[in-house]
Structure formats: structure tokens, C-alpha cells
Amino acid sequence: MQGLLAWVPLLPLIGFLILVGIPLFYRREPPESVITVIGVGSVGIAALFTAVATAAVFWQTPSGVVNIALWQWMQLGELKLGINFHVDWLTLVMLMIVTGVGFLIHLYSAGYMRKDPDFRRYFAYLNLFIFAMLTLVMADNLVLLYLGWEGVGLCSYLLIGFWYKDPVNGTAACKAFIVTRIGDTAMAIGLFLLFYEFSTLNIPELINAAGDPGADREIITIATLLLLGGAVGKSAQLPLQTWLPDAMAGPTPVSALIHAATMVTAGVYLIARMHPLYTLSETAMTAVAIVGALTLLLAGFSAIAQSDIKRVLAYSTISQIGYMFLALGVGAWSGAIFHLMTHAFFKALLFLSAGSVILSLHHEQNIFRMGGLYRKIPFTFLCFTIGCASLAALPLTSGFYSKDQILLRAWEFHQGFNSLWLAGVLGALITGIYTFRVLFLVFAGSEGAASRHCKDANTPAMTIPLAILAILALLGGLLTPPLQAVFGTTAERHPAAWVEGVAIAMPLIGLGVAWQLYRREKKTGEQRSRVTQFWFSGWGFDWLYDHLLVRPFNMLARLNHNDMIDALYKGTAAFSRQLNTLLSASQNGQVRWYLATFAAGSILFLALLVAL
Amino acid sequence: MNYLFYLTAAIAVLSTTMVIFHRNAVHALLYLVTSLLAVAVIFYQYGAPLAAALEVIIYAGAIMVLIIFVIMMLNQGDSTVVQERAWLQPSTWVGPALLSALLLIQLILLVSSAPFSAVRAFHYIGPKQVGIALFSHYVLAVELASMLLLAGLVGAFHLARHRKPETGRSGNAN
Amino acid sequence: MPIETAPGLEAGILLASTLFCLGLAGLMMRRNVIFMLMCVEICTNAAALMFVVAGAHWGNADGQVMFIFVVTLAAAEVAIALALVLQFYHRKHTVDIDQLNDLRG
């Protein structure tokens, strides 16, 4: 049974290899049905294996741990690294999300991407992504995790720039790649530091070593902050959040899979995986919490001002991951993972239904040109509404349970009223506002310019995943994962009833505000006040980085256009050439001239003799 | 006897000067022979009769005959006087003459400042002594000289062959 | 057997130097290769004179041995050089050494 788990990451890899290798064996492009079977099937079987392994091994034993050693990867002095997998319930939750939600999104993609000329390439990338993500979550050492970490980064780059013929998409892909690279560099330094201090990068051993009372707390603080840097880059948190809204240039199912459900939550997974180290450092915990709180507020405000349906969802993703970081920062580890799970359900649902809307409107993404769609695509409307309700954490939806847990934990962690809790509650209100703003602008009110041409583009391959995700988004709150063995149990304390009441009320207030403001929004245009313009641009971070980093760098590059260092070598060459010209002038082919110089040389030599 | 030395030395210098300034190749060659004969006389005065004899036989005899053959083959002589006159302008020869004069002055300075022994005695060295030295101590050098002459023979034969360029087997050998 | 009345060593050296410098001057100023060849002979001869004078001064046969080698060398040199001159004349139809500048840089 444990062997099945080793096959979970290998199956998508095999799928990827087959899809890439097809041109080696067949001249003609295979039909879409074959590609679908390979691409979707590999992930489907992986999901099946995960489910079977869960049922057989873990269901009755919440503390079960499975270690699978595949082979030795490298051995350098003290450093021993293997392609070894470590599976516990935390991994298992991630596995189920990645394979389960991944499978649904693959299935949806088969419908969404139909008739795309690069159908095969798309599924090859997608399978490679699933493989890399599974490697990331199953790795038992940080280097293998880093391999998966970079692998998903690569796939993210490839898929954002999937329609590479439009330069804008390529730029967005590069931006995502470069910005996350900043975080990855910090993370790599963190790994070096950890190895330097503890002589191991195996995660369980590392946690044991760090738990030793003699371990250097300052080193742990610095290392955890560096790892946080990596997580911030990958999960699009402040200050490296700018790439995610642009990453929406990729196909919508990609946005659902990579930039909402799985990859961007890798940072959350990393911190949860390394949580024993973080608990040792109060500074790191505070930093995580503050990053989360600030990000969820900034991204929430930005989401209110957006006009592109996918960008709204992108900012909401940033904001929700901010919630997860907030949860991590206040020690609500299982709350963070729980929210990660429910977020994967409802955000995938939202993106996929947004994809259906976009496809039905012939690739229109501007919400001000939509409206009144609830009559034309009722099934999509239903799914989107469920997703919105869950995102806004309306009571009894899955998002409500997870977010409620986080807010309570934030209240408890600092023994009462505190700024982190306040940020969370304010964020809940904003979430309500921007969520229902989108819902009303797209589906309610009068018809927009694009709505008139609406034609339901859903196929069975798209409706089935939507339906399953809708059910999960509604009822996922009941599936509390048994993570006590991983994170330890916390004493249940019940704060005052009004605290709970506030948490429940906030989304409803947000709903009310949105109803008042946007129910009958005129679809005239995009006149924005100065504040909303500022929010629209994502609090000017792009402008700031452009002026702070990009332009000075470009200026330096322009200054050094002719390569100053190279000038030295070019100068040497030019000098030699000058000398050559000079000396070759003396080489004039005249024998008598040579003779004369010879005589003159003799005279000089003899002159020396005479003078001495 | 010293007067004889200075007289022959003067003849040698004068005739050499005529060689380098004369415009007719044949005349110049005759002056050169004169100069060589004068030097032969000087050899004799320095007690080297073998050298004097070889100077006359080989230099003034064989080598000069070789040069005169070439002058005849290349049709030098009266016909090229005009050409030589054009080539030997004062602007052409002043510079080299100055350089050489400078060199000569330096040599004279060096010689006059060198501490030579006051002994003016010279030793008569006859052909017998020279022959003994040549075929005992210098026998290897004699063999090398013979090799050199053989190489000169082969080289001259090869170089002087007048081959038509288009029938030449290799373009750079002839 | 010393010869008391012989001229001094300095006189011999000066004569050799004079002849050599004349030969060198001729070598530099003449453009006709045949004249240059004659000048080379003058220079060689001056060097040979130097050997003989020195040998006579020290009462040593080596001076004349060297003279014989110099003569041998001059003979070989003149043979090769004349062959070259012939070849040069056949190719360029001139005896002007300044025409022979194909190796200019």
C-alpha cells in the first residue's frame, strides 16, 4: 500500500514524458482525446492512489508516518540527500488537494482548452507542474523540497507565458519568474545557513536538532526569516506580491490550479512544515503574522478597485493567503492548513466558473461590460455564487469554518483584543464587499456590452468539475483534517460570544454594502477616484519597484552600454594594433633600409663602447 | 718597407672607393681586383705568403671571374651606365656615406684608445705551419667547409636553373 | 722569425676598418645587386685581412686558417648569390634591389 504513494508523483511525470515524447514516435499530432486520456488520466490515477492509500494506511491512524526511500541522490561529506518521501497527515492533505483539485482542473481544462493548437504542450506543462508540486510536498529533505519549489516556479513561468505570441504574456511570465526568484534566493541562503548550523537538511532531523536547548536561537531566527522570504515570494505576499495579478495572463484553469489552489500556497506549506523552528523564534512568528495581516488588507482594498474579473480573483487570492500567513503567525497551524484546503476548493471553483463566464463571453474579462448573466448561464451563476459565499465566509460554507478558526485563534493568541485580530475582521468585511461586488456586477443588474453575445460554453468536462467543486466549497468545512499529530493539540477556549458574533456579522455587512453600492451599478465605464485608482494599481507597488529598481538598473545598463571593463581589453587590443601598424611600417621590404638600420644600430652600440 | 705598406694601403682604399662609386660594372670589377691585389701585397708584408697567394688565386682569380660571367650574362656594362648614374644621386649616397664615416671614426677612436703592446715584431708564418694547423686542429672545420661548398654547389645549380613558371612542378621552389 | 720592419697592428686594423666601412657604404648606396655583391666581397675581404693581421701579430697560424675558411665561405656565398641574382633578373627583368620588396609589412 505504501508503494502506491511513491507512484503518486511518478504518474504525472510519466504522463509528462509521454506527452513530450510523442513526436519521437508519431509524425502526426495525436488527437485531443488521446492527449486528454494521458494528461488527465495520469493525474486521475494519482488522485485515486492517494485516496486508496489514505483509506488503507492513514484513516485509522492520525499519527501515522510513512517514509519511502527511493534512491540516494547525492552524498557530499556530511550532506546526505535522498529522493526520499515523508508522508504524514500534513503531506496527505496537500496530496489530496494537489491530486484531487488538480484532477478536477485537468478535467475542466480538457473542455476549456479544446481546439487550442498547443493542446498537448498545455497538458505536458500541467502534468510536469503536478509532479513538481507533489515532489515539493512529499520531500523529506529541504533540498528535494527546493527542487520541487523551483520546478513549480518553472511550470508557473511556462504556463503564464503559454500564449507566448502576445509579448504581454511573456513579460508577465518573466515578471513572475524574476520576482519569485528574489524570494527563492533568500530561501537558498536560509538552507545554507541551516545546513551550516545543524549539518543536516533532512526535515525531521533538522527539527530534532533545532529543538535541542543548545541550538543557537539567533541563527534559527535568521534562517526562519530567510525561509519566510522564500515563502513570501512564492505565495505573493508583501512585498513580493506584484507578480500574481499579472500572472493572470495565463489560461484560466492555470490560474485556478497554480495561482490559486496549489502553487501559491507552497509558502504556507513550507512554514507549516517547518513550524517547530518558527515556534522557537518570536520575531519570525511576528514577522509572519504582520506580513499576513498587511497583505490581506492591502490586497483586499486592491480587489475592490479592479475591473478585470481575473485580477479581482488574483487579489482575493493574495488576500486569502494573507489570512493563512496570519494564521501561521499566531500559531494556528491547523487553521492555516484548513483554510488552505477550503481556499483551494472555493477559489478553484471561482476561477473555473470565471473561466466559463470568460469563454461564454468570447474572452471578455472586463466586469463592467458584463451584467445580468444569471439568466443566460444559470449553472455558472450558481457555482460562482457558491464560490463567492464561501470566499466571503458566509455562515455554514466551508470558508466560514476555516476563517472563523483563524480569527478566534488570533483573538486567543494575544489574550483578547489586538491589532492582528482587528486586521482579520476588517479583512473579512472587505472580502465580503469585493466578493459580492464582482458577483453583482457580473451576474446581476442590466446587461453589459458583452453580455448580449453570451453563449453558454460549458461542456460536460467543465460542468462535472464545477459541480464537484461547488459541493466541496459548500460542505468542505465538515472535512476537518486530523492534523493534531503533526501540530499538537491546543486547548479549546471559547472567547466571548460577541467575538464570534463579529466574525459572523462582518461578511454579512460586506454583503449589504455591496448590495447598496453595486446592485444597480451603471455599466458606464471606469472613472475612478484618486483613491480607487491607487488601489487599482495595487497600492503603487509596481510604480515603486519600477522607479526604485527597474529604472536605475536600466540606467546603469545604458551607462555601461559599451561595457567599461571590456574597454580595458579592447584598449589593449587597439594599443597592440597601433604598435603593429607602427612596427610594420618599418618592415618596408627595402633591403638597403634594413642595412642602414643595422649600421645605425652598430654605431649606437659602438658609441656605448667609446663612451665607456 | 713601411712606405711600401702605406702605398699599397692607399692603393687599396682608393681602388675600393672607385668600386663603390663607379658606374660601369666591368670597370668597377677591375678596380675591385686591384684592391684585392693590393691587400695580397699587404698580406705578404705581414708575413703571410700563403694568404697572399690564396688572395690572388681564389679572390682575384676565381671569384672575380664568376662575377664577370654574371655581368656578361646580365648584359651589364656600358649599356647600364645611364641607369647607374640615375640611381647614384648624391641624395642617395650621402646618408649611407655619413653612416659609414661615423662608423669608421668610432673604430679609429676605439683602436687609438686601445692599449696595444709596443712590440712591433711580426712573425713569419709559412704554408707549412698553416697546413699543420689546418689538418690537425681544424680538421673538423675543414670537413664542414667542404660540406658548405657542396651545399653551395647544389644550391647554385638549383637556383640558377631557368625554369618556365608554367611548367614548374612547384611554384615556390624555382 | 720576427720581421722588424713590418707596419704596426694599429695600421692593419685601421686599414681593415676603412675597407669594411667603404664596403658597407657601397652596400647601402648602390641599388644594383651586382655592385652590392662586390661590396659584400669587400667587407668579407676586410674581415679576412683582420684575421691575418691579428694572426701575424700573435705569431699564430690560426689567423691564416681562418682566412682560408673565410675565402671558402666567400666562394660558396658568391656562388649562391649569383644564382639568386640570375633568378631575380629572369623574374623581374631588372637588377634593382628596391624592386625586391614583396616582404614589406
Q: Domain containing A399: what range?
A: 288-527
**Dist CA A108 CA A257 (whole Å):** 11
Q: How buried is A327 (Cβ within 10 angstroms: 0-12 exposed, 13-18 middle, 19+ buried)?
A: buried
- Let me know if residue A482 belongs to a domain: yes
- Let me know if residue A69 belongs to a domain: no
pLDDT confidence of B170, banded at 50, 70, 90?
Answer: very low
pLDDT of B163 over the 70 cut = no
Residue B55 with chain C: CB contacts under 8 Å: 45, 48, 71
Residue C102 with chain A: CB contacts under 8 Å: 589
Residue A583 with chain C: CB contacts under 8 Å: 105
What are the average pLDDT values for consecutive 10-residue runs of chain A, which has 612 residues? 81 90 84 87 90 80 79 81 85 89 90 85 91 90 90 91 88 90 91 87 86 82 90 87 86 86 88 88 88 90 86 90 89 87 90 88 81 82 90 84 84 78 87 87 78 77 88 83 75 71 83 79 62 77 84 87 83 92 84 89 88 78
> Is C102 within 8 Å of A589 when comparing Cβ atoms?
yes
**Residue of chain B with shortest Cα separation from A598:** B99
- Let me know if residue A178 belongs to a domain: no
Together in a domain, A343 and A441: yes
The angle subtended at Cα B148 by Cα B147 and Cα B154, nearest 5°, is 90
pLDDT of B55 over the 70 cut = yes
Q: Which tens digit of pLDDT belongs to each residue from B79-100?
A: 778 888 888 888 888 888 888 8
> Is B66 within 8 Å of C17 when comparing Cβ atoms?
no
Cross-strand pairs, C32: C96
> Is C104 within 8 Å of A591 when comparing Cβ atoms?
no
For A354, other C-beta atoms within 10 Å of its C-beta total: 26
Domains of chain C, each with CATH number or no CATH: 32-97 (1.10.287.3510)
d(CA C50, nearest CA chain B) in Å: 10
> A466 and A349 in contact (C-beta within 8 Å)?
yes
Residue A600 with chain B: CB contacts under 8 Å: 99
ipTM for the predicted complex: 0.89
> Is B125 within 8 Å of C56 when comparing Cβ atoms?
yes
The answer to whether C100 contacts chain A (CB < 8 Å) is: yes
Together in a domain, A473 and A587: no
DSSP state, residue A249? G
Together in a domain, A347 and A452: yes
Q: Which of B46, B116, B143 is the best residue to mutate to test the C interface, defined by the most C CB atoms within 10 Å of its own CB?
A: B46
Size of interface A-B (CB pairs under 8 A): 25
pLDDT value at residue A1: 65
- Encode burial over A539-561: b for 16+ CB neighbours within 10 A, e otherwise: bebbeebeeeeeeeeeeeeeeee
Together in a domain, A303 and A386: yes
Number of domains present in the structure of chain A: 2
Q: Which of B31-40, B151-160, C86-95 has the lowest mean pLDDT?
A: C86-95
Closest CA to A549 of A182, A157, A160, A153: A182
> Is C79 within 8 Å of B156 when comparing Cβ atoms?
yes
d(CA A602, nearest CA chain C) in Å: 12
Q: Which helix (H) or strand (E) holds B92?
A: helix B90-113
Cα A209 to chain centroid distance, Å, stands at 30
> Is B103 within 8 Å of A596 when comparing Cβ atoms?
no
The angle subtended at Cα A384 by Cα A378 and Cα A386, nearest 5°, is 105
Together in a domain, A399 and A516: yes
**Dist CA B34 CA C25 (whole Å):** 19
- Let me know if residue A570 belongs to a domain: yes
Together in a domain, A516 and A592: no
**Dist CA A153 CA A161 (whole Å):** 12
Together in a domain, A300 and A421: yes
Closest CA to A271 of A337, A193, A347, A192: A337
pLDDT value at residue C87: 87
Phi, psi of A526, deg, nearest 5: -125, 40
> Is C105 within 8 Å of A596 when comparing Cβ atoms?
no
> Is C61 within 8 Å of B133 when comparing Cβ atoms?
yes
- Let me know if residue A403 belongs to a domain: yes
> Is B96 within 8 Å of A596 when comparing Cβ atoms?
yes
pLDDT value at residue B144: 94
Contacts for A22 with CB less than 8 Å, ≥ 6 apart:
A30, A120
Together in a domain, A422 and A490: yes
> A368 and A441 in contact (C-beta within 8 Å)?
yes
pLDDT confidence of B39, banded at 50, 70, 90?
Answer: very high
Residue A592 with chain C: CB contacts under 8 Å: 27-29, 31, 97-98
pLDDT confidence of B16, banded at 50, 70, 90?
Answer: very high
Three-state SS for C8-43 is CHHHHHHHHHHHHHHHHHHHHHCCEHHHHHHHHHHH
- Let me know if residue A140 belongs to a domain: no
pLDDT value at residue B1: 52
Which of A470, A502, A527 terminates a domain? The answer is A527
Amino acid found at A133: M
Residues of A in CB contact (< 8 Å) with B are 592, 596, 599-600, 602-603, 606-607, 609-610
Which of A500, A527, A554 terminates a domain? The answer is A527
pLDDT of C40 over the 80 cut = yes
pLDDT of B121 over the 70 cut = no
Together in a domain, A466 and A567: no
DSSP state, residue A236? T
**Residue of chain A with shortest Cα separation from B103:** A603
Cα A75 to chain centroid distance, Å, stands at 31
**Dist CA A305 CA A314 (whole Å):** 12
Query: What are the angstrom distances between the C-alpha of A195 and each of A183, A491, C78?
Result: 19, 34, 84
**Dist CA C19 CA A400 (whole Å):** 119
Q: How buried is B111 (Cβ within 10 angstroms: 0-12 exposed, 13-18 middle, 19+ buried)?
A: middle
Together in a domain, A503 and A579: no
For B34, other C-beta atoms within 10 Å of its C-beta total: 18
- Let me know if residue A494 belongs to a domain: yes
Cell matching residue A257: 490550479
- Encode burial over C55-76: b for 16+ CB neighbours within 10 A, e otherwise: bbbebbbbbbbbbbbbbbbbbb
Cell matching residue C104: 614589406
Q: Which of B13, B70, B98, B148 is the best residue to mutate to test the C interface, defined by the most C CB atoms within 10 Å of its own CB?
A: B70
The answer to whether C85 contacts chain A (CB < 8 Å) is: no
Residue A584 with chain C: CB contacts under 8 Å: 105
**Dist CA B120 CA C7 (whole Å):** 7
d(CA C101, nearest CA chain A) in Å: 4
- Strand, coil or helix: A76: strand
- For helices A497-518 and A398-413, what crossing angle results, to 10°? 130
Residue C26 with chain B: CB contacts under 8 Å: 19-20
Q: What is the CA radius of gyration of chain C?
A: 17
Together in a domain, A295 and A432: yes
Together in a domain, A509 and A569: no
Q: Which tens digit of pLDDT belongs to each residue from C43-101?
A: 999 999 999 998 888 888 899 999 999 999 999 999 999 998 888 888 888 888 888 88
d(CA B169, nearest CA chain C) in Å: 17
Phi, psi of B22, deg, nearest 5: -75, 150
- Let me know if residue A607 belongs to a domain: yes
> A296 and A330 in contact (C-beta within 8 Å)?
no
**Mean pLDDT across B12-27:** 91
Size of interface A-C (CB pairs under 8 A): 34
Which of A504, A527, A550 terminates a domain? The answer is A527
